[in-house]
């Protein structure tokens, strides 16, 4: 998805709509994926339809370089390319059969950068609950593999940092099931984080990261 360019297509949900129950119910998944995520894809394609010169840009390029677009589509692409990028990662990194913990290089990096997994969770929850209004909380890596927690407003991404996973704290992600209880939603979301996938992604980055000149 990140390397795709226009026209973008909605990736199917990688598991059943009822696969994440009871933490995320089927109705929430239908609205969130089929209505909200789909709308970002449709809006982005519509914005780019009259601008063939930007139809070769990848999703990441659109997310990172929206400032250089014409004013007529700049804010729209910022919001909707971000919406596509963020929701793609959100749905891909949830798992119906989550493992209890990260492994390998990721486990080591969490110990180094947070102390332990509960400390990472606390920092991420603080970011998720502290984001005023709509936005996202992120676990990211820099080019050297150092992990950090970020939050972004609206549909902004943490690029050029590499996001490992993200908690959607827009009300549309949880209101049907949790109403105003964002903290309860976070706890449910946390139980669904697919650590095997994050472990593999992090290991792959570490194997292929750009090499900095040695001093």
- Residues found near Mn ion in the complex (CB under 5 A): 168, 170, 173
Least Å distance, CB 168 to Mn ion, is 4
Q: Which one, 171 or 200, has the nearer CB to Mn ion?
A: 171
Residues in contact with 200: Cβ distance below 8 Å, sequence separation at least 6, in sequence order: none
* Nearer residue to Mn ion within complex by CB, 171 or 184: 171
Q: How far is the CB of 169 from Mn ion (least distance, A)?
A: 9
Select 77 or 173, whichever has its Cβ closest to Mn ion. Answer: 173
CB of 83 to Mn ion, least distance (A): 7
Instruction: Specify the residue, 156 or 199, whose C-beta has the smaller distance to Mn ion.
Output: 156
Cβ 66 to Mn ion shortest distance, Å:
19
**How far from chain centre, in Å, is Cα 203?**
18
- Going 143 to 13 to 85 to 147, the CA torsion angle's sign is negative
Q: Is the CB of 86 or the CB of 199 nearer to Mn ion? A: 86
Which residue, among 158, 164, 148, 161, has the nearest Cα to 199 in the 3D structure? 164
Nearest to 77 by CA among 96, 57, 93: 57
Cβ-contact 200, 107 below 8 angstroms: no
Q: Which residue is nearest to Mn ion (CB)?
A: 168
Minimum CB separation from Mn ion for residue 152, in Å? 13
* Contact assessment for residue 159 and residue 90, using Cβ atoms and an 8 Å cutoff: no
């Amino acid at each position: 998805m990140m390397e795709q360019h226009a026209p973008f297509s909605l990736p199917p949900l990688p598991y059943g709509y009822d696969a994440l129950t009871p933490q995320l119910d089927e109705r929430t998944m239908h609205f969130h994926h089929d209505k909200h995520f789909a709308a970002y894809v449709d809006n982005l394609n519509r914005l780019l339809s009259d601008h063939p010169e930007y139809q070769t840009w990848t999703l990441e390029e659109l997310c990172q370089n929206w400032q250089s677009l014409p004013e007529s589509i700049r804010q729209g692409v910022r919001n909707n390319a971000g919406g596509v990028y963020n929701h793609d990662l959100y749905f891909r990194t949830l798992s119906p059969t989550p493992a209890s913990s990260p492994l390998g290089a990721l486990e080591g990096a969490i110990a180094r950068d947070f102390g332990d997994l509960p400390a990472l969770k606390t920092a991420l929850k603080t970011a998720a609950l502290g984001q005023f209004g709509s936005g996202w909380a992120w676990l990211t890596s820099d080019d050297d593999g150092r992990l950090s927690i970020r939050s972004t407003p609206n549909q902004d991404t943490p690029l050029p940092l590499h996001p490992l996973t993200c908690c959607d704290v827009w009300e549309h992600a949880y209101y049907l099931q949790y109403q105003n209880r964002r903290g309860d939603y976070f706890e449910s979301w946390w139980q669904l984080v697919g650590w095997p996938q994050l472990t593999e992604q992090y290991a792959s980055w570490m194997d292929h990261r750009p090499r900095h000149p040695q001093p």
